[in-house]
Amino acid sequence: MKNRPLIGITPFYDYDKGQTYIKRGYCEGIVEAGGVPVVLPVVCEEELLSDLFSHISGLLLAGGPDVDAKYFSEPNMPCNGTISPFRDAMEIYLARKAISEGMPVLGICRGIQVMNIAMGGNIYQDIYTQVRDKALIKHSQEAPTWYPAHEVTLEEGSKIRQAYGVEKLEVNSFHHQALKDAAEGFEITAGAPDGTIEAVEYNGHPFAVGVQWHPELMWKEDRLHLKLFEAFVESCALYGNAS
Ligand code: MN
């Protein structure tokens, strides 16, 4: 690829150690797919974030802890887990900006939830506590991270279906939360057999896709999962060339 797009990845932040870190599958997946990853600093100042934003051609919202429920107007229930206030503020700002300005954004696990919350949607703080009308399957797998835990069905005509090129996909699963009401503008494009929302995309956007699974932990074992990174990077390259 001629112009490899620069793609900002949001990292984990350890409040005790004051350390920023990211699991390697994200960066390596972007590299393997033809992009240049850059791990963003965890900062909250909007002016600085806006400047950072102007240097990247794509945004990857990585997995991580639970979002503070205040962002979807609920009190935090006992079933909500660890909260990362800096990441919440930073990612919600960046997700909203990327979606509204047409910059490609890929949200993984926490990332799909951030995208939805940023645009006015909400999530279950804990599916096992709050989903009462369905028999849930296991979404918090204890098998190795690359091992598929359940199937998802990808909707015809969606970007996720186009990226993977299959209707049924085996995915891993490391979430106790999931989207409840998709925000206006989002289409639900993949679901688990128990009805859990597993992917969404924003209508009319070149590439604003969120997935509840972790392709970055699977692609080395199953190259099919690199296809999502490839579709994302391709969209980032187009955005970078146009802007
Ligand atoms: Mn799942």
The pLDDT value recorded for residue 3 is 82
Distance 195 CA to ligand 1 centre (A): 10
Catalytic residue from among 198, 214, 225, 236: 214
Q: Is 44 labeled as catalytic in the residue annotation?
A: no
For residue range 186-197, what is the model confidence (pLDDT) as tens digits?
A: 999 999 999 999
Cα 132 to Cα 109: distance, rounded to the nearest angstrom: 22
Q: Is 214 labeled as catalytic in the residue annotation?
A: yes
Work out the number of other CB atoms within 10 angstroms of the CB of residue 113.
31
Catalytic residue from among 139, 216, 225, 236: 216
Give phi and psi for 183, each to the nearest 5: -65, 155
Residue type, 50: S
For residue range 125-142, what is the model confidence (pLDDT) as tens digits?
A: 999 999 999 999 999 999
Q: Is 109 labeled as catalytic in the residue annotation?
A: yes
- Concatenate the DSSP letters of all residues of 183-212 into one string: PTTEEEEEE-TT--EEEEEETT-SSEEEES
Q: What is the pTM of this model?
A: 0.97
Query: Exposed/middle/buried for 83, CB within 10 Å: 0-12, 13-18, 19+?
Result: middle
